[in-house]
Structure 1
Amino acid sequence: MITLENLTKSFPGKGSPVLALRDVSLEIGAGSLYGVVGPAGAGKSTLAKVVALQEKPDRGTIRLDGLNTAGLDGRRLREVRRQVAVLDGSSPLNAERTVAGNVAAPLEQLGVDGPQRRSRVGRVLDLAGLTQRATQQPGELTEGQRRRLAVARALATGPAVLLADDPTAGVASEESGSVLTVLDRARAELGVTVLLTTQDGAVVRRVCDQVAVLDSGRVVEHGSLLDLLAAPGSRVAETLLPVIDTPPAQTATYDRAADVVLVGFAAVGALLPEAASRFEVELATIGGGLTRIGDTPVARFRVGVRGARSDHALAWIAEHGAHVTHLTGATPKRLVAA
């Protein structure tokens, strides 16, 4: 468990300090894959460095499994830092060593003996899908493979926490998924807690359990990803769910119109047609689309409904787990099940 309490961090600026973090408080569960998303300059990299104990906050508390890190120094600080691996651009791969040699390097620095070192290198190379590349040089790999190699090297010493700062930056879209898969496997197979920062909402959508939105150094939204997707006015939902772009004239042709968020296989596959059949209404999707959050299908549709029982149909959909915002009338309102 990583607990952040009221973290504030500033840097010298022209005339006055620049606040990079402003009273950031978060709880990151052990073994989770937690995403921090926000625009450039939001404070994401600063947050990663503070959690990695590479930067000291101006004020606030960082607890790792209940341990208050504020008073650590010397040997004890070095021991705790070894439990937190950092994946960023500050530690380039050694072009003169093989793939396996790059992974072995941090183990050699710790004095790990040969058999144990080889076993550990083999395990993380397998996890990263690079076993067949073990004898190659980093220059022979694609950028996505090099990024996976960097993840394997970060995992080699067996950290409890991995901070992945913008792990897919500069990686081609067709390879970024494989990098994220390695992070997900690290969490699932090694029990590593992964804190991932990114500007890319698609990264969060693919692998994260929970998410925090950081903007100008402040946490403006946080929680379970699936819960936030269904919350009215959620910035996460606006970023990750399909865009609805339906002309008003098309919406006006129906007796009722609503925006509906459906989560899960059963809801996405059956809820709307069942409502149409049950209440004998015509129900059409006139905007939005379908995406996936990890392995869970999630849809955001604008639906148009015609028929005497249109309101009953929309209320029934809300009662059965969908999140419905009624659009008929001057002001959209959230439909609450009776």
Structure 2
Amino acid sequence: MITVENLTKSFPGKSSPVLALREVNLEIDAGALYGVVGPAKSGKSTLARVVALQEKPDRGTVRLDGLNTASLDGRRLREARRQVAVLDPAPALNAERTIAGNVAAPLERLGVDGPQRRNRVGRVLDLVGLTQRATQQPGELTEAQRRRVAIARALVAGPAVLLADDPTAGIPADEAGPVLTVLDRARAELGVTVLLTTQEGSIVGRVCDEVAVLDSGRVIEHGTVLDLLASPGSRIAETLLPAIDTPRAQTAAYDRAADVVLIGFATVGALLPEASMRFGVELATIGGGLARVGDTPVARFRIGVRGRQADSALAWIADRGAHVTHLAKGPCSVAA
């Protein structure tokens, strides 16, 4: 487990210190894939460097499995750092070495013998799906494949934590999927705790269990991705849920109108039709759409309801776990 307590970090500025992190608190379970999202200069990379023990905070503590890293120095600090691998946004590979040679480099520095080194390199190359590329040079691979080589190199020494700082930076969107899949496999098959930073909320929606949103060095929201989808005003929800753009005249044609967030196979597929049948109302989808967060289907619909029991139908939908925001005839809305 990674525990971040009241972390504050500043850097010298022209006239006054620049606060990169402000009283940051996080708990990341062992074996989790945790995302930190925020715009440029929000503090994501600084947080990654502090957790990796590459930077010392001004105040606050980073605990790795309960160990207070602030008290470490010398040999104990070096040992703790070996448990945390870092994948930089633009990792460099040795152009003169093969893919297997690049991955083996950390083990060579540690003095691992040849047979054990080859076994470990083969295992992580299989994990990242590049076994067939082992004898090729980095220049023969795509940027996305080179990023996967860098992940294999970070994992080969068996760290407990992998910090992936903007792991899809510079990679075309249609090639980012395999890189994220590799991070998910590292968590699932090796038990590595993965802390992923990114500017793109859609990235955490694809692979992360939990997420924190950083803005100007502060955590402004955090929680499981699915819980945040149903949270009014959540930035993650606005990023991951389908947009709604329905003319007011279309909404006004119904007795009641509401925006509804549905999460999960059974809820997305059955809840609205069941409400219509149970309460004898006409229920129409007039905006929004479907999406997928990891393996979970989610939806945000604007629905129009006609019938005497329209209010009861909407209340029943909310009672079954959907988040329902009633749209008033005027400019106000009320969340149920």
TM > 0.5 fold call: yes
SS in 2 for 1:112: coil
1:266 maps onto 2:266 in alignment: yes
Q: Which amino acid aligns with 1:174?
A: D
Matches for 1:158-307 after TM superposition, within 5 Å: 158-307=158-307
Conserved 8 A contact 2:35-2:197: yes
Matches for 1:3-14 after TM superposition, within 5 Å: 3-14=3-14
SS in 2 for 1:8: strand
Alignment size in residue pairs: 335
Matches for 1:316-331 after TM superposition, within 5 Å: 316-330=316-330, 331=332
1:136 maps onto 2:130 in alignment: no
Superposed displacement of residue 90, structure 1: 6.1
Structure 1 runs of 4+ with >6 Å offset: none
Superposed displacement of residue 201, structure 1: 1.2
Cα deviation code 1:28-75 (max 9, x no counterpart): 000000000011110000000000000000000000000000011111
Q: Which amino acid aligns with 1:262?
A: L
Cα distance between partner residues in 1 of 2:244 and 2:90: 40
Superposed displacement of residue 89, structure 1: 3.9
Deviates more, 1:158-167 or 1:271-280: 271-280
Paired residue for 1:54?
A: 54
In structure 2, stretches of 5+ residues that fail to align are: none
Cα distance between partner residues in 2 of 1:244 and 1:14: 44
Conserved 8 A contact 2:252-2:329: no
SS in 2 for 1:168: coil
Paired residue for 1:147?
A: 147
SS in 1 for 2:238: helix
Paired residue for 1:121?
A: 121
Q: Which amino acid aligns with 2:333?
A: P
Superposed displacement of residue 91, structure 1: 4.4
Cα distance between partner residues in 1 of 2:318 and 2:91: 50
Q: Which amino acid aligns with 1:254?
A: Y
Cα deviation code 1:318-337 (max 9, x no counterpart): 111111111124421112xx
| TM-score of the superposed pair, with normalisation by structure 1 | 0.98
Deviates more, 1:212-221 or 1:301-310: 301-310
Distance 1:307 1:90, change over 3 A: closer
Superposed displacement of residue 98, structure 1: 0.5
Deviates more, 1:37-46 or 1:235-244: 235-244
Cα distance between partner residues in 2 of 1:239 and 1:258: 20
Superposed displacement of residue 234, structure 1: 1.4
Cα distance between partner residues in 2 of 1:148 and 1:9: 31
Cα distance between partner residues in 1 of 2:39 and 2:288: 24
Output the aligned Cα RMSD. Answer: 0.9
Cα deviation code 1:89-137 (max 9, x no counterpart): 4641110100111100000100111111111101100000000100000
Cα deviation code 1:121-177 (max 9, x no counterpart): 011000000001000000000011001111010000000000000000111111100
Cα distance between partner residues in 2 of 1:36 and 1:256: 38
Paired residue for 2:334?
A: 333
Cα distance between partner residues in 2 of 1:329 and 1:35: 39
In structure 1, stretches of 5+ residues that fail to align are: none
1:104 maps onto 2:104 in alignment: yes
Cα distance between partner residues in 2 of 1:204 and 1:288: 21
Paired residue for 1:65?
A: 65
| TM-score of the superposed pair, with normalisation by structure 2 | 0.98
Cα distance between partner residues in 2 of 1:201 and 1:334: 24
Distance 1:30 1:44, change over 3 A: same
SS in 1 for 2:176: helix
Cα distance between partner residues in 2 of 1:287 and 1:204: 25
Cα distance between partner residues in 2 of 1:269 and 1:110: 54
Cα distance between partner residues in 1 of 2:173 and 2:295: 19
Superposed displacement of residue 239, structure 1: 1.6
